[in-house]
Structure 1
Amino acid sequence: MAGRHPRILLSTKALTTVLLAFLALLHTGCSSVFFYPDNTTYITPDRLNLEYQDVFLNTEDGETLHGWWLPAHTDEPAKGTIYYLHGNAQNVSAHILNIAWLPPEGYNLFTLDYRGYGQSTGAPDIEGALHDVETGLRWLAERHTGQPLFILGQSLGGALGTALASEWVQRNEQPELNGVILDGTFSGFRYIAREKLDTFWLTWPFQYPLSWTIPEEYEGVDRIPAISPVPIMIIHSARDGIIPFHHGIRLYDAAEQPKEFLRTDTPHAATFVIPAYREAALEFMGESL
């Protein structure tokens, strides 16, 4: 019997930790579960033989955002500019490998960290992140030189990009978007929150009350139709273990034409490791020029 005692203590400690985390979730609502930032610099573009400039932007609510501008790595005029919105973990320096192939393909690239990520100040939440991505797009708009402009969002970045693109189009903002690519994106903040809460016995009874702490206007399936007539490419892996495949289908079904769907077969947010998937994205942007 004595041998069982430490295991009982460990189990009680683990349960206490889970309960404390759950109480924190009840206090803050679901918004915080979408953001897992850190401040570590994993790699900088120069380590990948890419030119870049640090960009610092001030938001209207007093935060400072850090981003990178990477010019097209070509002697020819750039084919266009891509605004990249990264996923929910770490920071832009951990995601740069997903898109480092784009400047050599002739595209300018701009990406930034949401508040609380990397060198950006503040604490992340959905509303703040939506404000941040619009701040970045307005910075690009001020420097627009007539080249085609695309939004590429992965995972959380795709959800933010969906809301941003829909509002940009509906307000007839300039410059016009030439295309939107959503890769491994969930179909709604509330929807994915309920789905994740449903998988754990302790949070299962609270999946609806907790998800209601997220404003309903953030649902991607409701926002995505308003992006039309801007072309949309939705990419989702059949074996995505983070955002299930049906989220991509829901977004595609809700989107208006012109649209296309690329079914892939990689882990979450690893799409562009495969050359064929890179080519598909380049073809989509080429058709939108």
Structure 2
Amino acid sequence: MHKFTGALFIVCLLLSLTGCSNLTSLFFHPQQEYLRTPNDIDLVYESVTTYATDGTEINSWFLPAFVSENNEVDSPIVLFLHGNAENISTHIGSVYWLPEQGVNVFLLDYRGFGHSLGDPYVPAIFQDVESSLIWLRERFPQRKIFILGQSIGSAIATTSMALFKDEYQVSGLILDASFTGYRDIAQEVTGNHLITWPIWPFTWLLPTEWDPKAHIADISPSPILMFHSETDPVLPYALGLELYNSAQEPKHWQPSKGGHIQTFNFEEYRQTLLDFLTR
């Protein structure tokens, strides 16, 4: 979201002042209040409570696909991982259209976001993703599950896919507005502004163990679809393309348009996603 750049400035400022642990927590700006629910946009939904391995209560939404003769048995599922700010009540705008197209959607609110408890940081957030996959696999043992991540959710999605694709039989990965790593994006921001240049050396304190670029090659042979707007004002197109180049086949790069995470405002990219989910 638009808060990503501001969050990175705060990250780097705090790095220079504190050198604290769990530095990735500074990338997240959760909001607890729901601004709307799926009912407000005439969507049926189920409120889902899961529990991470460490016992943290995670609260999410499940949007069932509209039932038809063609999708009643085998409609695919998208596990949606949103950006670094707000919660699923605002990010639903990226995926609300999928149920009408025969696709189920599970919107995960990470720990600390929305009605989920705890504090968000990497790597604890991967436990939240796994709790969602456990729920989905128990509920739908035979359905195809795909992970879709946007913005910082793309980083979480990439590493989660590498960690869990075999155990939970995840069929594919979709990324929108991705980047190579937490340190990389922090250095990108601090290196481009005179006021943050003195902070740039402290970005080296950010961990790289869970960076998407360290894990994306492990996703093969599962397919990857990546979108990135060529005019994204928040996450540089070049960082997304660099991550794509680190991935193994099968993979597909789709340049998109619009602002940050606005890809699915356009019918042509919606269709690209649907083709990937249903082929």
TM score, norm. by length of structure 2: 0.89
| C-alpha deviation, 1:82, in angstroms | 0.8
- CA 1:160 to 1:23, structure 2 compared with 1: closer, same or farther past 3 Å? closer
Alpha-carbon separation, structure 1, partners of 2:16 and 2:175: 28
Map of 1:112-261 to 2, 5 A cutoff? Answer: 112-169=108-165, 172-174=166-168, 176-214=169-207, 216-261=208-253
| Residues 73 and 182 of structure 1, relative CA distance in 2, 3 Å threshold | same
**Equivalent AA in structure 1 for residue 167 of structure 2:** E
Q: CA 1:286–1:64 in 2, change beyond 3 Å: closer, same or farther?
A: same
Partner of 1:55: 48
SS at match of 1:66: strand
Kindly indicate whether structure 1 or structure 2 has the higher relative contact order, using CA contacts under 8 Å at least 6 residues apart: 2
The whole-number CA distance in structure 2 between the counterparts of 1:191 and 1:230 is 26
Tell me, what secondary structure is at the counterpart of 1:126? coil
Give structure 2 stretches of 5+ with no counterpart.
1-8
Cα–Cα, structure 1 residues 23 and 52, in superposed 2: closer, same or farther, change >3 Å?
closer
Aligned-partner Cα distance in 1 for 2:157–2:14: 31
1:284 maps onto 2:276 in alignment: yes
* SS of alignment partner, residue 49 of structure 2: strand
The letter for the 1-side match of 2:237 is F
CA RMSD of aligned residues (A): 2.0
**Which of 22, 38, 46 is the aligned partner of 2:13?**
22
Match of 1:65 in 2: 58
- Separation in 2, partners of 1:197, 1:180: 30
User: Which letter does structure 2 place at the counterpart of 1:67?
Assistant: S
Q: 1:201 to 1:33 in 2, by over 3 A?
A: farther
Asked if 2 retains the 8 angstrom alpha-carbon contact of 1:70 and 1:108, the reply is: yes
Q: Say whether 1:38 aligns with 2:34.
A: no
* Bigger shift: residues 125-134 or 147-156: 125-134
**Count of residue correspondences:** 266
Q: Residues 33 and 114 of structure 2 are in contact (CA less than 8 Å); yes or no, is this contact kept in structure 1? A: yes
- Does residue 85 of structure 1 match 2:81? yes
Secondary structure class of the residue paired with 2:215: helix
Alpha carbons of structure 1 residues 100 and 23: separation in structure 2 relative to 1, 3 Å: closer
2: CA distance, partners of 1:56 / 1:204: 43
Measure how far apart 1:25 and its partner are.
5.7
What is the CA–CA distance in structure 2 between the aligned matches of 1:228 and 1:114, rounded to whole Å?
A: 26
